[in-house]
Structure 1
Amino acid sequence: MSEQDQASGLRKWANLQRQQQQAEGAVEVAAAEHVPEQSSSLLTPTVAAVEEPATMALPKPKMPLIVVGLPGSGAPQVNKVKARLGQWSMLGRSWAGDPDDWDIRIVMAESSDLAQLRDQYSRWALWISSDADTFADMFSTLRQLHERGGPRRLLALHEPHLPRQGLLDNLRQAAGYYLNMELLVLAR
């Protein structure tokens, strides 16, 4: 039942109550016994008023994205990933969609259950920062994923100002050549 229908029904009920009190005078007991039949249906909630509307959409399930390469876990790290997905979405990358549609899960590369997670989740990403030791750190992370049965294909999540030439290409090529892993680097 819509809010307008409910408000209209309440106004009718209030008007009927006022009319009853005026007609009955000061005798409240008689007014309580003398409820017109048409107003009794307004006092009793109907099934339609209690039930949820049939047009209510079910919440869209979130797409899981497993992210490795971040130092630690928690809300700040998840927000960092969502911010990057939001930037890609604003650049017209339709696959990125709304960052809130993603279920971001931060996983450490040294986790013992990488093979189980790989079988359970198909979307994986490697967070690539831009500090001086990034290549060594990220290659080490990829090597751990390789040794522990992790995924063989990952999306490179990197800061927007990192050029494709240099760090990103070197990391992509090393992952492919030495570890037989595909690191998907998106062009701007």
Structure 2
Amino acid sequence: MSDQAASLRAWAASQERDKAPEAAPTAPSCKQQLVVIGLPSPTYDECQRLCAPVLQRWQANGRRWVGDAAEWGFIAASLEGHDWSELASEHARWALWIDNDMQSFRRAYSHLKHLAKTQKVQQIIALHPPMQSRRGLLSNLQSAAKQFLGIQLLVFAE
């Protein structure tokens, strides 16, 4: 794992970025790595702040596949600063951050369209803050992803 993280850090350092944030490496002790797209600010700290509580919530609710939520590492990927095709070749687990603001559908769908162009990721986990109902935003996004992009958006009931 550390070799993969080292090569990702080396690649990120060699890229010329004026406004694109750097993908932060994950801790070598992480057993699972999750590439996260759709973040308001695609940095490791933001990714950790928003996504770790979701995995902790799922673990507490008995989702056994999560295992120990603390053993997950995150790679924050931005539209501008990363080769998603390369990331998809290196990492099998992807997640889409979906906020609960008015622009969430547009932002999330834009990221899904970009991901669909890689033709390498067919499933992606929906990470989101607690929501009253999955009807509406999450269901619409799940349907659009499947129907128009061929991507299965995995939405877990709370």
TM-score range, shorter chain: 0.7 to 0.9
Do structure 1's residue 118 and structure 2's residue 84 form an aligned pair? no
Cα deviation for residue 115 of structure 1 reads: 1.1
Give the partner amino acid of 2:84.
L
Cα deviation for residue 187 of structure 1 reads: 1.3
Do structure 1's residue 181 and structure 2's residue 151 form an aligned pair? yes
User: CA 1:139/1:61 → structure 2, altered by over 3 Å: closer, same or farther?
Assistant: closer
Moved over 3 A (4+): 109-112
Equivalenced residues, count: 130
Higher-Rg structure is: 1
User: Taking CA–CA contacts closer than 8 Å with sequence separation of 6 or more, which of the two structures ends up with the larger relative contact order?
Assistant: 2
**What runs of 5+ residues in structure 1 fail to find an aligned partner?**
1-58
**TM-score scaled by length of structure 2:** 0.75
User: CA 1:181/1:135 → structure 2, altered by over 3 Å: closer, same or farther?
Assistant: same
Q: How does 1:75-154 map to 2 (within 5 A)?
A: 75-149=45-119, 151-154=121-124
User: CA 1:131/1:110 → structure 2, altered by over 3 Å: closer, same or farther?
Assistant: same
Do structure 1's residue 66 and structure 2's residue 52 form an aligned pair? no
**What runs of 5+ residues in structure 2 fail to find an aligned partner?**
1-27
2-side partners of 1:147 and 1:110: how far apart? Answer: 14
Give the partner amino acid of 2:55.
L
More helix by share: 1
Overall identity of the aligned pairs, in %: 35
User: CA 1:138/1:81 → structure 2, altered by over 3 Å: closer, same or farther?
Assistant: same
TM-align CA RMSD: 1.8
Cα deviation for residue 60 of structure 1 reads: 5.8
Instruction: Assess if the C-alpha contact under 8 Å between 1:114 and 1:149 holds in 2.
Output: no
Give the equivalent residue in structure 2 for 1:42: none
1-side partners of 2:59 and 2:126: how far apart? Answer: 15
Deviations 1:136-161 (A, max 9, x none): 11111111112244522100011122
Task: For residue 95 of structure 2, give the secondary structure of its aligned residue in structure 1.
Answer: strand
2-side partners of 1:113 and 1:149: how far apart? Answer: 13
More moved, 149-158 vs 62-71: 149-158
Give the equivalent residue in structure 1 for 2:13: none
Task: For residue 36 of structure 2, give the secondary structure of its aligned residue in structure 1.
Answer: strand
Task: For residue 126 of structure 1, give the secondary structure of its aligned residue in structure 2.
Answer: strand
Of the three residues 130, 139, 144, the one matched with 1:169 is 139
Cα deviation for residue 98 of structure 1 reads: 2.1
Give the equivalent residue in structure 1 for 2:8: none
User: CA 1:157/1:61 → structure 2, altered by over 3 Å: closer, same or farther?
Assistant: closer
